[in-house]
Chain A
Amino acid sequence: MDFPVFHLDFFGNRWLIATIAILHVLVNHGLAVGMMPLVAAMEWYGQKKQDPRWDRLAYKILFFCFLITTTIGALTGVGIWLSVSLVNPYSIASLIRVFFWAWFTEWLVFITEVCLILAYTLTWKKWSNQGPEKKKQHIRLGFALAFFSWVTMAIIVAILGFMMDPGNWLTDHSFWTGVMNPLYIPQLAFRTPLAAAMAGIIALFLILFFTKRQDGFRHEALRAVALWTLAFAPFVLAAGWWYYTSVPDAMKDNLGVSLATLAFADWQTKFLQIAVVTVVTILLVVQFAISRPNLLPKVALVVPFFAILWMTGHFERVREFIRKPYVIGQYMYANGMRVDDYALLQRDGVLTYATYSNPLTEAEKAGLPERLSEPERTARLETIQKGKDVFMDTCSRCHTGHGVNSITSHLQRMFGDKPWTPELTAGYIEGMHYAQPYMPPFPGSKAELQLLGAYLEHLQHNKAPIPGAQSAGVIVHDENAGRIATKTNQTEAAAR
């Protein structure tokens, strides 16, 4: 890794990305992609029936979506990007080099989308008062907005699909083969009805807020939106099925196939169960909304909503199976090393090519064995410093020291309280990609395995949080240190 290492030692780095991404998916699918066609349809229906109540309801829902999408929605979209570039700069930088034009196009569509939602919301009242012709135009604006929201999603899905399975891109490095990867269409087919159903559930919830209990219109609105949701629910199941049956194909050429297949089978069963539960809860609630609308409590809608979230969350995890242990399938591992880099790094060591070192804080230096002479202490600290650098460069993208998915909790579970000596841990780490299909092989040299082992042993006695470059900064390796490291490696290699 050749950037200063940003690191969150409590929640873990993946947590940062996941939180922002889930919020974004929720707002994007539920309030934009799925909701805009629903709002436009309501406006159209109100116009057709000459019933202003539909118009008022549609506007209220739109206004709510406008407030959320232009704040949380827009900013979490940028936030995914900022967080990934902090946590995995090499992966996002590589993706941008390949997908620049996709992102650029996406951006143009996004500009259009924002202008349309501004126009659609801010002209609603004015245009509605200017006669039926103008109203028709406004409705068309609504459908245009719905279309562009969907296109934004369609482009992003291509990039997501690419990260899972770059298909033929690896051999011909061209943009279009990257885009048209084998999971693209099934994934898009799944997300589209999912977004519509999600929007339906949210709209049912909003209707309960925006209409009065005694109001006969409330029933009418609940019924109509329930039908909308009902219409999409089966497609969620069908496309979900299609999607997950295409996954094993995409996984075929991965490493660690047997373990991955097992893990995926687990995922698959669970996905099916969750999907069925979700669709059933949707159907139940929707039945209720249709037949007994006046008895529908708000909490009842929270259930299918969370079921959908649960399903979406579980669904998003499939990417881990397919691309594991890569960030970009077959090209780059999740630790930021390219597959091609391995021969060099394992020969010479990752530290040889690392520009930065991650300084130890005073708290991190505590817990050394007592009664060390001063030179021994210095030598020990130097080893620990190098071991920490190995950890930061090869493990820290996925593991914390003492927080979520911490390396110490794993070691504690595996080795208990006996001393975690390098002899004990190094052997495991060398073969860790066999033990856990999520993990890439260790990219460093034999000597670095020992250094990492020494550091892990230190962590057994030292519980201080590991700071990232955002607070502790970096030390710049001078060239000389790099050369010395190479030399010891070579002498070792010769000895072997």
Chain B
Amino acid sequence: MNEIPVPRDIPLPMPAPEPVLIGVLIIFFLMHIVFVNFMVGGAFLTLWYQLRGLKEKRYDDLAYEIAATITANKSIAVVLGVGPLLAINTLYTVYFYTANALTGAFWISIIPLVIVAFVLTYIHKYLWHQMERMKWLHIGLAIVVSLLFLFIPLIFLTNINLMLFPEKWGTIRGFFSALMLPNVFSRYAHFILACPAMTGLLMVWLFRRKNEAEIAATGFERVELIRKGYQWAFWPTAAQFVIGPLALLTLPETQESIHSVIAVFGVAILVSMGMAHLMFTETRRPAETIGKSFAPICALMLVVVGLMGAGRHLYREAAVAPHRELVRAKTEDYMRKVEEANREAAAKGGDVRTSQ
């Protein structure tokens, strides 16, 4: 039962040089994931402030401000996901499709689930004022949206994780057993924590650029809003110093060494420390100077995200590279046999049973 399957690959050449495909995969995937962070984090923060808004009206208005950002972010998140999907289909055909098939029912349910989540998000946003009188129904919508946004990434993560371990394919019986593979939940926690953190930075950006009148309408001081953004950015990031290493330590062993992976994540941790320090400093700054370090924080975040993407890719390669060699050999061997059989059939004069 614990045989390692070695399937054949598609016997057509890659449509582009591998580095190009890898570039598309990593760069656009990171862009995609940042917008997914904004979208998911935006939903969480909206719910949170809406609940606080039950006691204090201005929090409800703040929730509305954040909800308004989700509309555009979610569309960009979806559209940016298509390119990386194309690239991963091409680069990891055997691995990706196998993982999809083994979790098929949940994998395809992504489509209706995302549609429902998006429609509810629209209802929640566009009927905000009409639903004033049905506050709990309205909050109920936000809760459902948040739950959907919590669950959908788990399906993706389970697939992305399952594809790395061919030796497990024979033991998987549906989505839930794939969910139980090591590393899924620590990676998931790592992702979920990033959502409010990224959205916190989005808040800072948003409230720094609003004009005085718009800020006045929120009922908060600008500095308060910016500080809230930084707090959302800082505390989850602080928690990542526990969750991140945990995700790293629970990575299953690979045949190839992963020193480079550890090095990349090590550097990422160091850079994150600098970034977290700046975030914390910002939360303590007065109105005159708050926001001073926003640009450096974003730059550092970009570096961290880039390193995460690189580390992730290196690990994926380490995990599948030896197996991919087996697949390549198997495919070549198969194609040789196909040729030989066709020659043999041609020599016999008939074109086997396919002919009329």
Contacts and interface: CB of A to CB of B under 8 A. Distances in A.
A474 B8 contact: no
B101 A6 contact: yes
Contacts of A256: 356
Contact of B10 (A90, A442, A469, A478): A90
A20 B7 CA distance: 29
A340 interface: yes
8 contacts: A4-B98, A75-B118, A85-B100, A89-B93, A93-B93, A101-B16, A342-B353, A355-B7
A20 B13 CA distance: 30
Nearest to A353: B334
A342 B5 contact: no
Contacts of B85: 78, 81
Nearest to B6: A355
A414 interface: no
B90 A100 contact: yes
Is chain A's interface secondary structure helix, strand, loop, or mixed overall? helix
Given A86-B104, A342-B353, A476-B1, A104 B115 contact: no
Interface of A: 2-6, 16, 20, 67, 70-72, 74-76, 78-79, 81-83, 85-86, 89-90, 92-94, 96-101, 103-104, 107, 110-111, 114-115, 118, 122, 255-256, 338-344, 346-348, 353, 355-356, 430, 434, 441-442, 468-478
B338 interface: yes
A3 to B, nearest CB: 5
B115 A72 contact: yes
Contacts of A340: 338, 342
B86 A103 contact: yes
Given A96-B89, A97-B10, A476-B1, A75 B114 contact: yes
> Which of A339, A470, A471, A473 gathers the greatest number of chain B CB atoms within 10 Å?
A470
A3 B3 contact: no
B118 A353 contact: no
Contact of B75 (A70, A343, A441): A70
B144 interface: no
In the A-B complex, list the 6 residue pairs whose CB atoms are closest, starting with the nearest: A470-B104, A100-B15, A344-B341, A79-B111, A476-B3, A97-B12
Contact of B108 (A3, A83, A89, A103): A83
A86 B108 contact: yes
Contact of A67 (B3, B105, B122): B122
Interface stretch (B168-176, B194-202, B302-310): B168-176
A478 B105 CA distance: 27
B345 A343 contact: yes
Q: Of residues B14, B75, B102, B111, which shows the largest number of chain A Cβ atoms within 10 Å of its Cβ?
A: B111
Contacts of A470: 101-107, 174-175
Interface in B300-356: 334, 337-338, 340-342, 344-345, 351-354, 356
Given A75-B111, A78-B81, A93-B10, 17 more contacts: A4-B101, A71-B119, A78-B85, A83-B111, A89-B101, A93-B89, A94-B10, A98-B12, A110-B79, A338-B11, A343-B341, A347-B352, A470-B103, A470-B107, A473-B172, A474-B172, A475-B170
